[in-house]
């Protein structure tokens, strides 16, 4: 079906509205009695709002909302809202599922992590406001909407990274993230302005038409495309725009590191897919962004993986791992040949990898949150012997790490396999070889952490006396999802390819 049965089209914004309403409700609850606000109530409200948004997104996606009816070609069936400023289709809903799933896990895991935090309502509200921005990014159909949505993601994220006010590392990370993010936003906005001058429009469909009809301002258009590429590359932490990520992830509360590295990355990629494949797909004669993404993809995965080998801080290892996975997903853009119909497989594989990555990466960072809760330290050596006292959590961490590496222990194996298969069948041997080689390299630093958990002797004073329920449940759900994505990957790739067909159809 192309619209929501018996409901007006604006209700397709239900996931974003649910997240926004919950964020405002949290602030209202805190205003009534800021001293006595129950952490259980705040966590429960946040998780409930996230689950409502997730449930709506799944309902709309499975019901076929915004998808072509039988015999139609994409993007027919997509729901245009507010004069085409927003579009709800299979692609926006697919990525909304990723964002809301991560937001729910992070909110649940933050309950014990925030036990001594003085501003819990503000924390949860900022998480949900950032998630609202991410969901809006997935539906953006104009450069103005996209820029505003990105800022709605960025501003709460800066505050969340620096939310550990008594921690110098958190404050420093927040400041670095803000400064680099502000510069990135300025570059992105200037690129949008140049595209407007060259095409006379800011709405994606109109820009595409202007490019197809030919524009006399090709130089301005090319420079604008380069600047927009830089803005997108910053959001997904691709080399050479990645240097903020290790510091931000290390200094931020671990649940926020999970949130930014998983949900924010997904939002950045959905913008990249829409803008470059859909809007700039016919402008490669002006600026060959495919070759640019090919170089960035290979360099990103290679630099990140070899940088991770030299790290001893587990959070920084996973930060570079997150950068490397951005390089893997960029294969979907680097392998584009100019025909969307012929690229459904590779685009769908990239989207499917983001879906699986959302669970396994979030789970890995939540394990770090658990270790920080136990105050065992942050280096690989500090994790020695944890498997003896926390076998379930360490088993889950093993699943996350080996799935990130691409071993057949989680859904990461199939998502990487589909990426590899798509590159080989598409004649992109260089990208396929880079994917395989870098996956092998990553196995070394993932195995190093696993070995520390299970085979090394624990410190004499290591004694875990508390097993926080919220963190354990969040880790268990992420681990279960990662494992179940092995038999359930067919459903993921099916909807990922449906989402891919919505681009530029």
User: Which class for 427: exposed (0-12), middle (13-18), buried (19 or more C-beta within 10 A)?
Assistant: exposed
φ and ψ at residue 282, rounded to 5 degrees:
-100, 10
Residue 128 tokens, joined: 């949900």
Name which of 75-89, 126-140, 213-227 the model is least confident about. 75-89
Check pLDDT > 60 for residue 342: no
- Condensed to tens digits (0 to 9), the pLDDT of residues 412-434 reads 999 999 888 888 877 788 888 99
Report the length, in residues, of the chain: 505
Is position 2 within any domain? no
Average pLDDT of the residues in 70-91 = 74
CA nearest neighbour of 235 among 259, 278, 192, 264: 264
Task: Return the closest-CA partner of residue 271 out of 436, 126, 142.
Answer: 142
494 contact partners, CB below 8 Å, separation of at least 6: none
Q: Of 360, 314, 332, nearest to 418 (Cα)?
A: 332
64: left (phi over 0), alpha (psi -120 to 50) or beta: left
On whether residue 4 sits in a domain, the answer given is no
pLDDT: which is higher, 411 or 459: 411
User: What pLDDT score does 441 carry?
Assistant: 94
425 φ/ψ angles, rounded to the nearest 5 degrees: -70, -25
Q: Is residue 154 part of a domain?
A: yes
Identify the band that residue 338 occupies on the pLDDT scale cut at 50, 70 and 90. Answer: low
Average pLDDT score over the chain? 87
The model's confidence at residue 212, banded by pLDDT at 50, 70 and 90, is confident
Evaluate whether residue 3 is within a structural domain: no
Q: What is the pLDDT of residue 55?
A: 95
Instruction: Please report which confidence band the pLDDT of residue 344 belongs to, taking 50, 70 and 90 as the band edges.
Output: low
Q: Assess whether pLDDT exceeds 50 at residue 1.
A: no
Residue 380 lies in a domain: yes
Residue 377 in any domain: the answer is yes
Segment among 23-37, 129-143, 182-196 with least mean pLDDT? 23-37
Local confidence band at 97 (pLDDT 50, 70, 90 cut-offs): very high
Q: What pLDDT was estimated at residue 83?
A: 84
- Total domain count for the chain? 1
Query: What pLDDT does residue 148 have?
Result: 94
pLDDT tens track for 235-275: 898 988 888 888 889 888 889 999 999 998 999 999 999 99
Is the pLDDT score of 4 beyond 50?
A: no
- Whether 264 is in a domain gets the answer yes
- 342/360 Cα distance (integer angstroms): 30
Residues 6+ apart with CB under 8 A from 436: 420
Q: Which domain holds residue 269?
A: 9-501
CA distances to 308, 369, 380, 446, 456 from 452, rounded to whole Å, are 16, 17, 7, 10, 5
Mean pLDDT calculated for residue range 143-162: 92
pLDDT band at 94 (very low <50, low <70, confident <90, very high): very high
35 touches 41 (CB < 8 A): no
Model confidence at 80, pLDDT cuts 50, 70, 90, reads: confident
Residue 436 lies in a domain: yes
Overall pTM surpassing 0.85 (yes/no): yes
pLDDT winner (highest mean) among 64-78, 158-172, 206-220, 266-280:
266-280
């Amino acid at each position: 079906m192309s619209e929501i049965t018996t409901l007006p089209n604006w209700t397709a914004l239900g996931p974003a509205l649910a997240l926004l309403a919950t964020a405002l409700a949290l602030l209202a609850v805190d205003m009534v009695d800021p001293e006595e606000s129950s952490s259980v109530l705040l966590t429960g409200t946040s998780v409930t709002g996230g689950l409502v948004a997730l449930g709506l997104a799944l309902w709309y996606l499975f019901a076929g909302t915004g998808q072509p009816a039988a015999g139609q070609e994409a993007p027919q069936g997509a729901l245009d809202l507010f004069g085409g400023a927003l579009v709800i289709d299979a692609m926006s809903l697919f990525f909304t599922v990723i964002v809301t799933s991560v937001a729910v896990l992070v909110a649940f895991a933050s309950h014990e992590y925030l036990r001594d935090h003085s501003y819990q309502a503000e924390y949860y509200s900022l998480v949900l406001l950032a998630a609202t921005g991410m969901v809006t990014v997935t539906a953006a159909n104009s450069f103005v909407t996209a820029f505003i949505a990105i800022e709605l993601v960025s501003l709460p994220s800066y505050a969340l990274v620096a939310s550990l006010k008594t921690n110098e590392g958190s404050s420093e990370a927040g400041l670095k993230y803000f400064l680099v993010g502000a510069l990135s936003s300025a570059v992105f906005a200037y690129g949008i302005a140049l595209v407007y001058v060259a095409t006379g429009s800011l709405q994606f469909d109109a820009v595409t038409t202007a490019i197809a009809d030919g524009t006399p301002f090709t130089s301005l258009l090319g420079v604008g495309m380069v600047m927009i590429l830089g803005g997108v590359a910053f959001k997904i932490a691709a080399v050479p725009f990645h240097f903020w990520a290790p510091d931000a992830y290390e200094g931020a509360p671990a649940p926020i590191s999970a949130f930014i590295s998983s949900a924010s990355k997904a939002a950045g990629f959905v913008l990249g897919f829409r803008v470059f494949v859909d809007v700039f797909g016919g402008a490669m004669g002006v600026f060959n962004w495919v070759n640019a993404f090919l170089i960035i993809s290979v360099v990103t995965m290679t630099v990140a993986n070899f940088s991770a080998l030299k790290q001893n801080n587990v959070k920084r290892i996973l930060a570079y791992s997150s950068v490397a996975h951005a390089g893997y997903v960029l294969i979907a853009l680097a392998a584009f040949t100019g025909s969307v119909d012929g690229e459904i497989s590779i685009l769908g594989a990239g989207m499917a990898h983001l879906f699986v990555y959302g669970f396994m990466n979030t789970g890995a960072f939540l394990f770090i949150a658990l270790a920080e809760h136990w105050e065992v330290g942050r280096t690989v050596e500090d994790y020695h012997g944890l498997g003896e006292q926390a076998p379930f959590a360490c088993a889950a961490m093993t699943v996350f790490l080996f799935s990130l590496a691409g071993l057949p222990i989680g859904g990461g194996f199939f998502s990487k396999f589909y990426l590899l298969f798509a590159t080989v069948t598409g004649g992109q041997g260089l990208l396929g070889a880079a994917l395989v080689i870098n996956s092998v390299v990553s196995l070394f630093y993932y195995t190093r952490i696993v070995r520390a958990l299970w085979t090394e002797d624990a410190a004499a004073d290591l004694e875990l006396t508390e097993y926080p329920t919220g963190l354990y449940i969040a880790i268990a759900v992420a681990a279960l999802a990662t494992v179940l994505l092995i038999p359930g990957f067919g459903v993921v790739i099916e909807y990922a390819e449906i989402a891919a067909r919505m681009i530029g159809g």
